[in-house]
C-alpha cells in the first residue's frame, strides 16, 4: 500500500526515492509498483493549456509531449488504459518548485482531442484526460442519484455474460464528460457485480462459503483487485476476485501476500477460461 495522505505536501524527489519512476515530466510510471503518478503544474500554461477542476467535479489533465502532435502512446496510453492494466492513478499538484500536494487517487473516465501550441508555438493536437476521484464511483452515490440507482438495479438483474460485456468497456475517446462518468461508474459496479455473481456465494480464494448473508439476502464477499494496491474502480474480469474478509486481508497485508495473489490470479484465469474461453481484450 502507498502511504499517501490527500492534501499533504511531499518533496517530489523523495517520492521517487521511495517508489521510483521518471523524475522528469508530468507522467511517472514506477516499475516496482502498479501505480502511475501524475504531476500537474503551471508549466503547461505557456503551451496553451491549463489543468484543473471542472464544474462537474472532474479534473482535466493534459497529456505529455511538448513538440508536435501528442500521441496516444507511452505515458498518455498508460493513463488511458490504467484500469485495464491494473494500475492505480495518483494525482499531485505542484505547490512550489520541487514540492507537490497529493490530490488523491483518480480514475480516467475518458479523453478528448483539442488544439494548442507546442513548444515552438505551432498549433498541434493535444490530449485532455478527464479524471474522476476514485470515491466518486462508490455505491454511496446511489442515495443521491436516482439515475445511478436505476442503473445499479439493472446490473443486479443482468446475467453473468452480459455483466462481463459491461465490465469490459474501457475509457474511450469522447467529449461528453457527464456521459463518460456515468459509463465508468456503471462499469465499476458491473465489475463488482460480475465477480460476486461468478463466485456463487463461495470465496474464490479459499473455496469456503461466504461467512454470512447481507440484509438483502446475498452472500457477503468482498471484491479484491488482484493486480492493484487499492480496491477502487474497474479492472478486467480476470483481475478481480470475490473473496471472504479473511482472505481479503491476507491478500493485502500477509507476509505471503505476493504469492497468495499470484495463486489467486492463476485460479481466476482458469475459472474464466472454463466459463468463457480465451481472454477478451
Q: Rounded CA gap, 100 and 12, in Å? A: 6
**Least confident segment among 44-53, 171-180, 215-224, 269-278:** 171-180
Give the residue numbers spanning the domain of 223: 138-274
What does the pLDDT read at residue 280?
53
Integer angstrom CA distances of residue 72 from 75, 77, 158, 161, 173: 8, 5, 34, 30, 11
> Does residue 281 fall inside a structural domain?
no
Same structural domain for residues 156 and 254?
yes
Domain boundary among 133, 163, 180: 133
Same structural domain for residues 99 and 184?
no
- The domain total for the chain is 2
Pick 188 or 201 by higher pLDDT: 201
Same structural domain for residues 174 and 253?
yes
* In the chain, % of residues over pLDDT 70: 88
Domain boundary among 111, 133, 155: 133
Query: Which grid cell is 155?
Result: 446490473
Same structural domain for residues 105 and 180?
no
**In the predicted model, is pLDDT for residue 281 greater than 80?**
no
Query: Which grid cell is 258?
Result: 505476493
What does the pLDDT read at residue 82?
93
**In the predicted model, is pLDDT for residue 16 greater than 60?**
yes
Question: What would the pLDDT profile of 208-230 be if each residue is shown by its tens digit?
Answer: 999 999 998 999 999 999 999 88
Among 41, 94, 84, which Cα is nearest to 64's?
41
Same structural domain for residues 171 and 223?
yes
CATH number for the domain including 87?
Answer: 2.30.280.10
**In the predicted model, is pLDDT for residue 184 greater than 90?**
no
What does the pLDDT read at residue 101?
98
> Does residue 197 fall inside a structural domain?
yes
> Does residue 2 fall inside a structural domain?
no
Segment 47-57 mean pLDDT:
78
Q: What is the pTM of this model?
A: 0.81
Same structural domain for residues 146 and 244?
yes
Same structural domain for residues 142 and 126?
no
Same structural domain for residues 119 and 32?
yes
Of 131-145, 246-260, 266-280, which one has max mean pLDDT?
A: 246-260
Same structural domain for residues 144 and 256?
yes
What does the pLDDT read at residue 106?
94
Same structural domain for residues 187 and 106?
no
What does the pLDDT read at residue 145?
59
Give the pLDDT band (50/70/90) at residue 258: very high
> Does residue 3 fall inside a structural domain?
no
**In the predicted model, is pLDDT for residue 176 greater than 90?**
no
Domain boundary among 77, 108, 133: 133
What does the pLDDT read at residue 12?
97
Question: What would the pLDDT profile of 120-165 be if each residue is shown by its tens digit?
Answer: 889 999 999 999 998 876 655 554 555 666 777 788 888 899 999 8
The average confidence (pLDDT) of the chain is 88
> Does residue 105 fall inside a structural domain?
yes
> Does residue 19 fall inside a structural domain?
yes
Same structural domain for residues 161 and 107?
no
Same structural domain for residues 148 and 223?
yes
> Does residue 266 fall inside a structural domain?
yes
Segment 62-84 mean pLDDT:
93
Amino acid at each position: 500500500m502507498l502511504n499517501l495522505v490527500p492534501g499533504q505536501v511531499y518533496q517530489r524527489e523523495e517520492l521517487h526515492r521511495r517508489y521510483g519512476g521518471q523524475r522528469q515530466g508530468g507522467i511517472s510510471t514506477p516499475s516496482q509498483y502498479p501505480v502511475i503518478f501524475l504531476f500537474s503544474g503551471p508549466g503547461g500554461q505557456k503551451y496553451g493549456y491549463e489543468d484543473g477542476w471542472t464544474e462537474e467535479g472532474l479534473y482535466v489533465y493534459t497529456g505529455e509531449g511538448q513538440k508536435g502532435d501528442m500521441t496516444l502512446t507511452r505515458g498518455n496510453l498508460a493513463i488511458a488504459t490504467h484500469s485495464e492494466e491494473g494500475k492505480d492513478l495518483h494525482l499531485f499538484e505542484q505547490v512550489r518548485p520541487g514540492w507537490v500536494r497529493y490530490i488523491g487517487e483518480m480514475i480516467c473516465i475518458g479523453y478528448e482531442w483539442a488544439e494548442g501550441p507546442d513548444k515552438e508555438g505551432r498549433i498541434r493536437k493535444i490530449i485532455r484526460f478527464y479524471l474522476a476521484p476514485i470515491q466518486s464511483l462508490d455505491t454511496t452515490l446511489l442515495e443521491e442519484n436516482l439515475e445511478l440507482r436505476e442503473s445499479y438495479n439493472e446490473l443486479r438483474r443482468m446475467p453473468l455474460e452480459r455483466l462481463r460485456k459491461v465490465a469490459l468497456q474501457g475509457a474511450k475517446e469522447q467529449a461528453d464528460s457527464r456521459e463518460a462518468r456515468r459509463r465508468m461508474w456503471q462499469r465499476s459496479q458491473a465489475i463488482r457485480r460480475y465477480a460476486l455473481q461468478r463466485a456463487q456465494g463461495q470465496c474464490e480464494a479459499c473455496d469456503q462459503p461466504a461467512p454470512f448473508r447481507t440484509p438483502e439476502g446475498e452472500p457477503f464477499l468482498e471484491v479484491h483487485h488482484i493486480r492493484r494496491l487499492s480496491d477502487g474502480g474497474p479492472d478486467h474480469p480476470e483481475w478481480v476476485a470475490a473473496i471472504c474478509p479473511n482472505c481479503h486481508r491476507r491478500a493485502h497485508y500477509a507476509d505471503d501476500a505476493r504469492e497468495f495473489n499470484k495463486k489467486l490470479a492463476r485460479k481466476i484465469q482458469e475459472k474464466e477460461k472454463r466459463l468463457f474461453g480465451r481472454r477478451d481484450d
